[in-house]
Amino acid sequence: MATLSVCQPQLGGFSFENCKRNAVLEAEVTKLGCNVPSARKTGTTICGVVFKDGIVLGADTRATEGMIVADKNCSKIHYISPNIYCCGAGTAADTEMTTQIISSNLELHSLSTSRLPRVATANRMLKQMLFRYQGHIGAALVLGGVDCNGPHLYSIYPHGSTDKLPYVTMGSGSLAAMAVFEDRYKQDMEEEDAKRLVRDAIAAGIFNDLGSGSNIDLCVITKGRVDYLRPHDMANKKGVRSQRLIRPVYAVTGNYKYKQGTTGVLTKSVIKLDLEVVEETVQTMDTS
């Protein structure tokens, strides 16, 4: 086995060995005029609102990679614990890994305390981790859940600051969604009103922001019940190809040909072309 001549054993965690090499590569590539591949972001609209009995979280479902839609139906509402869910905006991998790590930690913590975890605990864990990495982990999160103290909603920014508010929006479409919230939010709404409000806020983000699109996912959390509605509303349906019944089987690709006989035939003339044989050769194939 190959050996490293080191004095102390290797530690786990992030390794910064390739940072200098990456910086040099990036400089070379931009000199040639090409672009370094960028991380997949979720340029998003996510939002949450506190209503009478609990929390409604909403998110769109588009993931972008630069100017291209990388995933038309990605799931942005992540599970943290049975009573706590978290929407994530920013770099897709960062939100995914961060929420999974915090979910594992919270599970271990709740096993050790034998209590249902609190939203404030998840908030504190997330904010301490994001601050430790000084914003290099690009995860902007909307954390919501119902615990023994009632419903709580937090927004967590990539550098580690948090806000505890009755309604929050994050992502590139946050301004559009916030406009809807500011107009129609009331304290102690009913569940249906809250769902309609969140749906309209996300729809505002989808239709007015390039980075958000496709469907609307909702997650309704109340004491003892979680409704994960995916998709709650398909705002952007793809067009359906026109189909025609050919024998009993439907054509997979749309058939846009006209029927035989659509155009009437007026005259028909057949001209035979005379071809004379000039040379005839036989080439044997090597089949051995």
Partner 1 sequence: MNIFLILSCLNSLRQLQCSVPKATMFFHISAGIFMTGGMCAPVIPLSLAKNTRGLRSQLKDSVPVTGMGPQVGAYGVQDTLRSGFSSVKNELLPSHALELSEKNFQLNQDKMNFSNLRNIQGLHAPLKLQMEYRAARQIQRLPFLQSSHLALDTLKGNDESISFEDILNDPAQSEMMGEPHIMVEYKLGMM
Question: CA-CA distances (angstroms) from residue 83 to 54, 106, 212, 250?
Answer: 10, 11, 27, 46
Please report whether residue 36 would count as binding partner 1 according to CB under 8 A: no
Nearer to partner 1, 22 or 30 (CB): 22
Choose the binding region for partner 1 from 72-80, 132-140, 225-233, 279-287 (rule: CB under 8 A): 132-140
4 binds partner 1 (CB under 8 A): yes
Encoded tokens for 69: 């839609």
Tell how far CA 114 is from the center of its chain: 33
The answer to whether 114 contacts partner 1 (rule: CB under 8 A) is no
SS3 285: coil
Q: Which of 49, 54, 223 is nearest to 148 (CA)?
A: 223
Largest CA distance in the chain: 97
Supply the minimum distance, in Å, between the C-beta of residue 95 and partner 1. 15
The active-site residue, picked from 3, 30, 42, 44, is 44
Strand pairing class (245-246; 225-233): unpaired
Phi, psi of 160 (to 5 degrees): 110, 5
261 contacts partner 1 (rule: CB under 8 A): no
Q: Which tokens go with 242?
A: 């026109």
Which C-beta is closer to partner 1: that of 24 or that of 29?
24
Choose which of 9, 33, 248, 264 interacts with partner 1 (CB under 8 A). Answer: 9
281 is catalytic: no
Binder of partner 1 out of 25, 29, 39, 101 (CB under 8 A): 101
Choices 97-105, 168-176, 183-191, 215-223 (CB under 8 A): range interacting with partner 1: 97-105
Distance of CA 235 to the CA centre of its chain: 15
131: contact with partner 1 by CB under 8 A: no
151/164 Cα distance (integer angstroms):
11
Q: Any contact of residue 133 with partner 1 (CB under 8 A)?
A: yes
Residues that bind partner 1 (CB under 8 A): 1-16, 19-20, 23, 97, 101, 104-105, 108-109, 112, 129, 132-134, 136
